[in-house]
């Protein structure tokens, strides 16, 4: 298991937390509505706090009338009290409603913003190489939700607590300055002890989030590979793997429960004492006749509200520890997206140039950098000069493709290649996201805006590559489909090729089409690429026909290579790397 990073909640983490709040409040696309909703929430918080103060006085008068057996006063105060409760109920429910609305808006904004950063410039690849950033999907989906809801609740608790202190401090002081002093001291001692007892929860909650995500990921892996698991008879292995993840999850959860138990011993006793302290201190004043009976009730209410405000850390230790863990995890993910993992051994650089594909003294290394896969490759491929790459092992050709795509760069040298829009890659295993037929044939949202104008072209292209049967199976090409279940592997690859034909890049690199397509189908696809001016680079272990190529690059063991030109279907010696 990958070691977890040291969990700290530093000043920089707090600054990031505050920066996220500020960014949402100032966001051009959501800031005005967010500030408006927040103002509405604050209004209801003020109203509820004011009603709590009014309620303490109404309750005092109610209990005094009861003690004095004042029937008329008792009924009048009862009606007033019911009215206060009704208004307070409306204000509390509406306040909660708008708080939830604000939280949902914040989650939507924050998640959208994080997804855009995660997917931009292939940052998802950078994050995958950073130690300690397991399950970024769980951090984006669940941690952002926790961050927004818990932060909003915490901010409102601080605000309400401040209002409560301001409102009830004067009430409690007017009853008994000594009781006010005891309350402040009691809350200070309780806060200190809660911090000491609850401190391990930050680390344990962080680890629990990761272990929960690991367990879910393992279950998803079994679901997605169910057929392979059954065919290979590896149920026992997967069961053991799942049990290990479950054991780690349960073990950490057990530690959380132990800490929470110890903390609950303290917080439960702490809360019980809050109810009796004001009565013990105010009762002598009533017995001497210095105060009315209802003041005892009012002092209990005021003391409870004031202690609740002063004791936020005591009562919300679990919430604060969860917030600390979530902020730390999101902070680590954002840093990984921004910085990636800088490895001094990553030496291959990439430069964009739509006019050519070139390799300048490029040496590609294995993942652990102990083996040279391709040594000092020099090649310039201009548009129209189609290349066949053959020989060597499958992993060497795969490395060539992924290095050209910018996915890996272990080695040295420089690659000059078109930008992503002008160079596409077709892998041995076709990849088709779920969606409508039109969506899977589009490169990005910019094309989707104009898709209807190209509808006839799309349908004609599908027929051209031999997918009439697919069109017949699709009742509506605008209906979302799960293509990996609907199509055969060969049909999936043809659909990918149709996508390339519609996108019309300058270059396309094709990995082992012979695995999914027949030879005559491959030749037909290469002819279609050539007709549209798409220069293709085909990676195959070997090829019987050379008529569709201008150059052949043979890769050999040890990193050596040879480039030769093709003339009339025959190989000629090639002394340079330029075509």
pLDDT digit string, tens, across residues 338-396: 775 444 445 788 898 888 999 999 999 887 767 889 999 999 999 999 999 997 677 88
Nearest to 348 by CA among 423, 394, 407: 407
Beta bridge partners of 515: none
Q: What is the pLDDT of residue 536?
A: 96
Residue 289 confidence (pLDDT): 67
The confidence band for 451, taking pLDDT boundaries of 50, 70 and 90, is low
Give the model's pLDDT for residue 525: 95
* Helix (H), strand (E) at residue 444: none
CATH 1.20.1560.10 domain span(s) along the chain: 11-339
- The three-class DSSP label of residue 457 is helix
Structure tokens at 434: 């779920």
Residue 211 has pLDDT above 70, yes or no: yes
pLDDT of 311 reads 55
Distances in Å between the Cα of 111 and the Cα atoms of 14, 153, 162, 168, 339 are: 20, 18, 30, 39, 19
**Cα–Cα nearest to 558, from 412, 395, 397, 372:** 372
Confidence at 6, pLDDT banded by 50, 70, 90: very low
Report the chain's mean pLDDT, rounded to a whole number. 79
Tell me the β-bridge partners of 329.
none
- E strand or H helix that includes residue 155: helix 144-175
Residue 371 pLDDT: 84
The CATH code for residues 349-572 is 3.40.50.300
Query: Are the C-beta atoms of residues 434 and 486 closer than 8 Å to each other?
Result: no
Structure letter (DSSP) for residue 371: S
Q: Is the pLDDT of residue 42 over 80?
A: yes
At 99-128, the pLDDT tens digits run 889 989 998 998 888 888 888 777 787 777
In this predicted structure, the answer to whether residue 318 has a pLDDT above a threshold of 70 is no
Confidence of residue 4 (pLDDT cuts 50, 70, 90): very low
Check the CA dihedral 331-332-335-337 and report its sign. negative
Instruction: Answer yes or no: CATH 1.10.1740.10 is held by domain 11-339.
Output: no
Confidence of residue 26 (pLDDT cuts 50, 70, 90): confident
Q: Where in the chain is the domain with CATH 3.40.50.300?
A: 349-572
Q: How far is CA 15 from CA 4, 27, 112, 470, in A?
A: 23, 18, 21, 54
pLDDT digit string, tens, across residues 490-549: 999 999 999 999 989 999 999 999 999 999 999 999 999 999 999 999 999 876 678 899
Q: What count of other Cβ atoms lies within 10 Å of the Cβ of residue 275?
A: 12
Q: In angstroms, what CA-CA distances link 450 with 157, 433, 445, 447, 498?
A: 49, 20, 9, 5, 17
As a whole number of Å, the CA-based R_g of the chain is 34
Cα-Cα-Cα-Cα torsion 396, 402, 405, 407, nearest 10 degrees, comes to -140
Nearest Cα to 385, choosing from 251, 555, 578, 256?
578
List alpha helices for 225-234, DSSP H: 226-232
Average pLDDT over residues 217-234: 73
């Amino acid at each position: 298991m990958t070691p977890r990073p040291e969990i700290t909640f530093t000043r920089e983490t707090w600054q990031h937390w505050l920066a996220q709040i500020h960014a949402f409040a100032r966001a051009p696309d959501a800031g005005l509505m967010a500030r408006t909703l927040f103002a509405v929430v604050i209004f209801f918080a003020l109203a509820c706090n004011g009603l709590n103060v009014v309620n303490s006085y109404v309750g005092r008068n109610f209990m005094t009338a009861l003690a004095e057996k004042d029937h008329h006063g008792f009924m009048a105060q009862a009606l007033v009290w019911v009215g206060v409760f009704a208004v307070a109920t409306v204000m509390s429910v509406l306040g909660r409603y708008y708080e939830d609305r604000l939280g949902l808006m914040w989650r939507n904004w924050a998640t959208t913003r994080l997804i855009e950063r995660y997917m931009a410039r292939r940052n998802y690849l950078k994050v995958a190489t950073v130690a300690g950033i397991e399950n970024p999907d769980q951090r984006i989906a669940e941690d952002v939700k926790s961050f927004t809801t818990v932060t909003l609740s915490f901010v409102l608790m601080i605000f309400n607590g401040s209002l409560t202190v301001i409102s009830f401090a004067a009430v409690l002081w007017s009853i008994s300055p000594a009781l006010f002093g005891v309350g402040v001291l009691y809350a200070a001692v309780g806060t200190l002890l809660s911090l000491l007892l609850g401190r391990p929860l930050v680390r344990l909650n962080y680890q629990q989030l990761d272990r929960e995500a690991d367990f879910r990921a393992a279950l998803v892996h079994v679901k997605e590979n169910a057929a392979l698991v059954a065919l290979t008879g590896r149920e026992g292995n997967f069961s053991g793997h799942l049990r290990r993840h479950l054991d780690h999850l349960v073990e950490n959860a057990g530690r959380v429960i132990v800490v929470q138990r110890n903390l609950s011993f303290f917080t439960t006793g702490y809360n019980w004492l809050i109810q009796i302290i004001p009565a013990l201190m105010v009762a002598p004043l009533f017995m001497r006749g210095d105060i009315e009976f209802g003041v005892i009730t009012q002092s209990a209410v005021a003391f409870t509200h004031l202690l609740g405000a002063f004791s936020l850390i005591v009562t919300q230790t679990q919430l604060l520890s969860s917030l600390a863990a979530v902020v730390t995890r999101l902070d680590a993910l954002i840093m990984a997206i921004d910085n990636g993992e800088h490895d001094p051994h990553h030496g291959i650089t990439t430069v964009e140039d739509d006019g050519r594909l070139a390799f300048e003294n490029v040496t590609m290394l294995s993942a652990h950098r102990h083996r040279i896969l391709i040594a000092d490759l020099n090649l310039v491929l201009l548009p129209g000069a189609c290349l066949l790459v053959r020989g060597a092992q499958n992993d060497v050709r795969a490395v060539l493709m992924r290095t050209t795509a910018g996915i890996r760069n272990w080695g040295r040298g420089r690659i000059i290649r078109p930008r992503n829009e002008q160079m596409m890659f077709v892998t041995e295993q076709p990849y088709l996201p779920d969606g409508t037929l039109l969506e899977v044939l589009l490169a990005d949202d910019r094309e989707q805006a104009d898709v209807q104008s190209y509808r006839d072209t799309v349908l004609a292209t599908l027929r051209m590559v031999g997918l009439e049967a697919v069109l017949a199976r699709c009742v509506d090409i605008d209906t979302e489909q799960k293509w990996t279940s609907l199509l055969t592997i060969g049909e999936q690859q043809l659909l990918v090729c149709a996508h390339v034909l519609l996108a019309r890049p300058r270059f396309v690199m094709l990995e082992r089409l012979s695995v999914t397509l027949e030879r005559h189908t491959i030749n037909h696809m290469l002819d279609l690429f050539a007709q549209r001016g798409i220069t293709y680079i085909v990676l195959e272990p070997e090829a019987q026909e050379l008529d569709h190529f201008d150059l052949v690059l043979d890769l050999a063991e040890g990193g050596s290579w040879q480039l030769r030109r093709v003339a009339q279907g025959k190989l000629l010696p090639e002394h340079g790397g330029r075509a």
